[in-house]
Chains A and B, each alone.
Chain A
Amino acid sequence: MRFVVPSNQAKEPDMQVTMTINGESVTKECEPRTLLVHFIRDIVGLRGTHWGCDTSNCGTCVLWVDGEPVKSCTILAAMADGREVRTVEGLEQNGQLDPIQEGFRECHGLQCGFCTPGMMMTGRWILDNNPNPSEEEIREGISGQLCRCTGYHNIVKSIQWAAEHPAENEVKA
């Protein structure tokens, strides 16, 4: 998809952006104003990353930039140029689900599934930084992301499950 240039623009606004997405280098054209969430969803075509508000509150758009969860509605695609992006589609490795994905299924950590990708991306990051988080630490970690279905109870349990079932290549502290 190519954005049409508004006529009141003095100069050609399209730019080329290159980033590594889930390990693969991707180069696409977009406008300087294009939000990363729209770049990922509409231009790259990875639709597991969602959006749900206009005010950076809901966190359904969370993905990783350079190893940290970021609300992708609050950063321009241009700002991610040259950086490493990881989305929910990058959790599964070599056909093997990430423990965080298994945890959400095991513990009924999702219902409508809309907040789930963002929650899993943050959950993965929490565990990468702290393999044995307390319940309070998990709750705080996901506090910038809203879920309307689960009341968070089973999301917390899912992340705890993933902590208790690390993948073989994870070091259990």
Chain B
Amino acid sequence: MQTPAPLADYVRATSVADAIAQLEKYGEDARLVAGGHSLIPMMRLRLARPEALIDINDLDELKSIKVEGNEIVVGAMVRHREVLDSPLLFEHYPIFRECEKVIADPVVRNRGSVGGSYCQADPSEDLSALGSALRGSVVIQNSTGTRTVPMREFHFGPYMTQVGDGEILTEVRFPIRPGAGSAYEKVERRVGDWAVASVGTFVVVKNGVVEDCGIGLAAVGAEHFCVPAAEEFLIGKAPTEENLEQAAAMAAEGCNPSSDQRGPADYKKHLAKELTLRALRRSVQSSQGA
């Protein structure tokens, strides 16, 4: 099988501060490794060739899921399986469970981490669609301090994020929205595959009107995994089938998918609409049922 290129050093970080110090020591050729389920495959195919790996698996400070104020905080080292199984996340947003259930497979989910998925920044990353839908934010730390970056400003493009040299993504934060309904829809060619297209949404319906909503889309060429115009259209309107359809059409309009083995662009564009509509319908239903 394919094997990684030579790697000069491997170290275990003992704390976030230590991880940052190690990153600074090794410079731009160092990479953090969390679950390794994006990085090691890239290394095996020799698409990534770090000189040093800094293992952050021992950093317990990054492993919790908790509520702070009106936000849910998910540590960067939380594994996908923990997100899937978390009653706390499910209670606030069923979308977490729906989304995680279709990410990779159970064995990969045992190991892959939330922080790793965000930092890999694959354009088909389901968690990115989820994060963008919920308008979450990420906390990035370096030796001078921390900063919080909205999810919708986090990506520069495919595989490129705001996390720079000597920096570590420590946590992801999601605002709590009482009464929100949420849902995740994904079409994949086969279980465990990356999305052909996927859409996550939340909707807060109050007094028969959409008070707030979010739409996140992966794999369909939506800038920052979202199409704000579709959300703006829906907010303040009644969640009628007609309005949902219009919002879904606008969401699809804001996507620029490319043709590949997963499907031609016209199909993906169609899916952006179809899946947005399905996710919105279910989000509205569960918000109204809440």
Contact = CB atoms under 8 A, between A and B. Distances in A.
Contacts, number: 102
A73 B106 contact: no
B2 A62 contact: no
B37 A143 contact: no
A62 B40 CA distance: 15
A53 B33 CA distance: 21
Nearest to A144: B105
Q: Name the residue among B12, B41, B55, B191 with the largest chain A CB count within 10 angstroms.
A: B41
B187 interface: no
Would you call the interface of chain A mostly helix, strand, loop, or mixed? loop
A35 B3 contact: yes
Given A70-B111, A144-B104, A75 B40 contact: yes
B37 A74 contact: yes
Nearest to B52: A32
Nearest to B33: A79
A145 interface: yes
Given A140-B106, A144-B105, A10 B41 contact: no
A143 B190 CA distance: 10
Interface in A39-80: 51, 53-57, 59, 62, 68-71, 73-76, 78-79
A56 B4 CA distance: 14
A129 to B, nearest CB: 10
A107 B98 CA distance: 33
B57 A79 contact: yes
A59 to B, nearest CB: 6
A141 B40 contact: no
A70 B6 contact: no
Interface string A97-141: 000000000000000000000000010000000000000000011
A144 B36 CA distance: 16
In this complex, the interface size class of chain A, counting residues with CB under 8 Å from chain B, is 35 or more
Interface residues of B, number: 31
A115 B126 CA distance: 28
B93 to A, nearest CB: 21
A35 B4 contact: yes
A6 B6 contact: yes
Contacts of A70: 107, 110-111
Given A31-B6, A78-B10, A69 B1 contact: no
A15 interface: yes
Given A69-B110, A144-B192, A55 B41 contact: yes
Given A79-B33, A143-B192, A54 B44 contact: yes
A10 B36 contact: no
Contacts of A145: 105, 107
A33 B110 contact: no
B58 to A, nearest CB: 9
Given A32-B9, A143-B105, A76 B40 contact: yes
Nearest to B2: A54
Contacts of A76: 4, 10, 33, 36, 40, 53
A2 interface: no
B88 interface: no
Interface in B212-258: none
Given A32-B10, A76-B33, 10 more contacts: A33-B3, A56-B40, A69-B110, A71-B108, A74-B111, A76-B4, A76-B10, A76-B40, A81-B12, A143-B192
23 contacts: A8-B6, A9-B8, A11-B8, A11-B9, A32-B53, A33-B6, A35-B3, A55-B45, A68-B110, A71-B107, A74-B108, A74-B111, A75-B111, A76-B10, A78-B55, A79-B10, A79-B36, A79-B55, A79-B57, A81-B12, A143-B192, A144-B105, A144-B192
Q: Which 8 A-B pairs have the closest CB atoms?
A: A144-B105, A33-B7, A32-B10, A33-B4, A78-B10, A54-B2, A32-B7, A144-B107
Interface of A: 6, 8-11, 13, 15, 31-33, 35, 37-38, 51, 53-57, 59, 62, 68-71, 73-76, 78-79, 81, 122, 140-141, 143-145
